[in-house]
Structure 1
C-alpha cells in the first residue's frame, strides 16, 4: 500500500531521523533530559493519533524500512514502532 500523499513518508522519515539523532547525541550536543523529554513528547503525540492515522504512519514506516539501503537506519525504522510504544511486537 503506497500513500497517495508523498508528504506522509517524507514527514515520517524526518520524524524518525530526529528521534534517531536525539538518541545518538552526546551530552555536549543536547541536554540528555531535554532529549528524553522530546522523545517522550513525540511518542505521546503518536499515541494520540486516531487508529486510521496510526495505521497509515506504521505503513509509511514499514515502506521506508523496506526501501532503506542503510542497514542501521533500516533497523531503526523497524524497531521504531515498538520503541515508541505504538506496537507490542518488536
Structure 2
C-alpha cells in the first residue's frame, strides 16, 4: 500500500525547488563549488533509494507536474528525474 502522506509531495517539491535555486543562483548568492557539491549530494542520496521508493518519488514528481499551473515549474518537475539521473531519457 502506498503511503499518501501529504508530507511526501511537500518535501519532494521543496527538494526540486532548492535544487533549482542552487542551479540558478548567482555566484554572489552561493559559492558555485558549494552549490555543485550540494546538488551532487542530493542526487546521490536520491539515487540510493530502494527501487520502490525511487518509483514512488517518480510518481510524486509526475503528480506534482500534472497539478502545477506554472508552466516553468511544471517543466522543472518533469525534467528533474532526468537531470539527476533517475531516468535515462527526458520524456516530452
**TM-score w.r.t. structure 1 length?**
0.95
- Runs of 4+ aligned residues of structure 1 deviating over 2 Å after TM superposition are none
How far the C-alpha of 1:89 sits from its partner, in A, is 1.5
| CA distance in structure 2 between the partners assigned to 1:60 and 1:26 by the alignment | 29
Task: Report the alpha carbon displacement of residue 24 of structure 1 after superposing the two structures with TM.
Answer: 1.0
Q: How does 1:7-86 map to 2 (within 5 A)?
A: 7-86=7-86
Tell me, yes or no, if the aligned pair for 1:3 and 1:60 is still in contact at 8 Å: no
Structure 1 residue 3, shift from structure 2 partner: 5.1
Stretches of structure 1 lacking an aligned partner (at least 5 in a row): none
Structure 2 Cα separation of the partners of residues 78 and 14 of structure 1? 14
Q: TM-score, normalised by structure 2?
A: 0.93
How much has 1:72 moved relative to structure 2? Answer: 0.6
Structure 2 stretches lacking a partner, 5+ long: none
Question: Could you list the per-position Cα deviations for residues 8-49 of structure 1 after superposition, in whole angstroms to 9, with x for gaps in the alignment?
Answer: 100100000000111110000000000000000000000000
How many residues get paired? 89
* SS of match in other structure, 2:4: coil
